Amino acid sequence: MKPAGFLCKIDKLGRIVIPKPLRSKYDLHTDDAIELFTEPDAIVIKKYAMSCIFCGNSENLKMIQNKPVCEDCLKQLKELS
Ligand SMILES: [Zn+2]
């Protein structure tokens, strides 16, 4: 992990502002979902991208029982039945 070159302060409600250059660089827009990850000494913010529960692919997803599954894995599941 390397420093992003910005220093932010947390407000009274625990919020931070992600500086515009970083939002642009990481394609973050108003109302985008972000996911928070933790490391022993850090919190990592990533843009949330729904992905296949089996292989992690994020394209051509279908929802099965409210879970995202890609077409390739769906094909493999059909072959099992
Ligand atoms: Zn898949």
Q: In this structure, are 42 and 16 located in the same domain?
A: yes
What total of structural domains would you count in the chain? 2
Measured in angstroms, how far is the CA atom of residue 54 from the centroid of ligand 1?
Answer: 5
Which tens digits make up the pLDDT trace of 7-56?
A: 999 999 999 999 999 999 999 999 999 999 999 999 999 999 899 999 99
The answer to whether the beta carbons of residues 14 and 31 sit under 8 Å apart is: no
Residue ranges making up the domain that contains 19: 8-48
> Would you say the pTM of this structure is higher than 0.75?
no
Any domain includes 1: no
- Between the CA of 65 and the centroid of ligand 1 the distance, in Å, is 15
Residues near 29 by beta carbon (within 8 Å), at least 6 away in sequence: 23
Within 10 angstroms of residue 52's Cβ, the number of other Cβ atoms is: 20
Residues around ion ligand 1, judged by CB within 5 A, are: 52, 54-55, 57, 70, 73
| CA of 17 relative to ligand 1 center, distance in Å | 34
